[in-house]
A and B are shown apart, each in its own frame.
Chain A
């Protein structure tokens, strides 16, 4: 067996793990947890090795059943997919450790097994989306992903989760059917669903059937935009992310919506290519959407009283940052967007998990109840503060580096107006993150003497939080190590 088999083995490991969990129902739950951790560890190691391999040796093309690419399904592992699968596996491992610490808030004991089944199928579909080089195969994985995310939201048997999950299903289904319609139009004009083959013939197709290609691009941007919560289509996100259990919110906000935007990146840069995009002036449309999202997401976040809803709206704004980087259609822009995907993944995971710990321990989600929380729960609030400062873009955190890169990319394209929007959006971030930190640490004198020991929550919940806090600072201090891989990923997308 050689290294080419690793991607499919990653997928199969997740799938088999999901199948094994129901069979282990009678055994103690610890066995399931340890087995799942072993699987995640193996996948993390193998995707890390793949990342090294594709950057230093060669890109892996894997066709199923040995059929050629135009008949069969093809997996491509290149710097782009290898980088993001590694990031996903790493974040998922951190969230997994946290969720094993009994913090699956609001889920009944009997549902634990099912939660982990869904988690592993979710990871499998995200890996599939990134590896596959076939538009229709992407659709199938997207649908698996959207069903499992809906189920992971509604697993908490409470009234409001059902309505928010229902809205999520409807919006998601609109999105995926639009995407499928786009695929159908491309298939009609070119006769392929394989991305490499389409990109070879799309110029001719655009010359003969321009309407097909334009409409297909429109449908795909809207469909994936709904799923990635780009501003006007974001209405499902705050409800869904605030109703879900904390660990699910972390996965949904930090990983899942990023995967959809990565599909959008693939569609834009691999399928349609820069020539067509420039001719249609897609850049302007994406930039306007991004600018609106950056401002409006933050404005809505200010008005929220519930912490998790606030974090949800903050995600909408942050998706705007990523879309801004992509919309510039330049190397610098892509680099900044990819770096922000990583740093926002780390920061949002840290925010949701620390808030989750506070909810687990103090049973409150109101912003006003954070009064003096820094002295009651120093670790959770400390990590929250680091991540919130990162969101604002204070130096020494990873958020600063991504904003710096975005600013450089914007200036490179002479889009001064977006630099202004970037700064205004950062200031709006200050308005809703800083009061929480001040409330927790500085305001109330009467709690100060009560600092005795770290909070009595399980160690498995505290360790990942500390790890995330350290990672945010480390990535902020030494961005160059990871930047090599990000630049390779951006280069693999551009000609």
Chain B
């Protein structure tokens, strides 16, 4: 019984698992690159959730074929929305990676703990 329900909702469960894994990485890891990865995993979770909503069992991709009538299409709107979301996350990733490059050039580290130590030392000098 419960196994059936899990299999039925496997998309949603996977999406939420990805979201939580990503959140944990962003919050707990001190490596900046890993945190960017975490954001990406979180984003993937949300996107999977969105696309899973649009799925229709037995549906085909929503491209009108004039020869076949009465086709069952999946809902295309979530996929289209998510395309925008993917673009956004890509640009956020590029931007934050370029920030990490800059941080590495200036501080020679990409570890959050060492960074905060360096910054507090600098503030004390002034």
In the complex, A touching B (Cβ < 8 A): yes
- Rounded to whole Å, the gap between the CB of B59 and the closest CB of chain A is 15
* Residue A59 at the chain B interface, CB threshold 8 Å: no
* A interface, over-half SS: helix
Q: Is residue A438 within 8 Å, beta carbon to beta carbon, of the partner chain? A: no
Contacts of B88 in A (CB 8 A): 140, 143
Contacts between chains A and B (CB distance < 8 A), count = 65
Residues of A contacting B96 with CB < 8 Å? 166, 169-170
Q: Which applies to chain B's interface (DSSP): helix, strand, loop or mixed?
A: helix
Max chain A C-beta neighbours (<10 A), residue from B95, B100, B119: B95
Is B99 a contact partner of A169 (Cβ separation < 8 A)?
Answer: yes
Query: In the complex, which range does the number of interface residues on chain B fall in?
Result: 20 to 34
Contact B39 A173 (CB under 8 A): yes
Q: A184-B46, A184-B49 are contacts. A159–B95 as well, Cβ < 8 Å? A: no
Q: Closest residue to A160 on the B side, CB-wise?
A: B119
B39 touches A170 (CB 8 A): yes
Known: A159-B107, A163-B119, A165-B99. A170 touches B53 (CB 8 A): no
In the bound complex, residues from chain A placing their C-beta under 8 Å from that of B99 are 154, 162, 165-166, 169
Stretch of A29-37, A174-182, A482-490 at the chain-chain interface? A174-182
A169 x B119 contact (CB < 8 A): no
B17 to chain A, nearest CB (A): 13
How many of chain A's residues touch chain B, expressed as a range? 20 to 34
Q: Which listed residue (A136, A160, A166, A184) contacts B32, Cβ 8 A?
A: A166
Cβ of A39 to closest chain B Cβ, rounded Å: 25
Known contacts A169-B99, A170-B35, A177-B46; decide if A163 and B84 are in contact (CB<8 Å).
Answer: no
0/1 interface trace, chain A 151-166, chain B, CB 8 Å (1 if under): 1001000011011011
The contact of B92 among A136, A159, A169, A193, by CB within 8 Å, is A169
The 10 closest A-B pairs by CB, nearest first: A143-B88, A162-B102, A159-B106, A166-B99, A188-B53, A169-B96, A184-B50, A173-B39, A162-B103, A184-B49
Can you list 21 pairs linking A and B with CB atoms under 8 Å apart? Answer: A136-B81, A136-B84, A140-B88, A143-B92, A154-B99, A154-B102, A162-B102, A162-B106, A166-B96, A166-B99, A166-B103, A169-B92, A170-B35, A177-B19, A177-B42, A180-B50, A181-B19, A181-B49, A184-B46, A184-B50, A187-B78
19 additional contacts (CB under 8 A) given A150-B95, A162-B106:
A143-B92, A147-B91, A154-B99, A162-B99, A162-B103, A163-B115, A165-B99, A166-B32, A166-B99, A166-B100, A169-B96, A169-B99, A170-B35, A173-B39, A173-B42, A173-B92, A177-B42, A177-B43, A193-B81
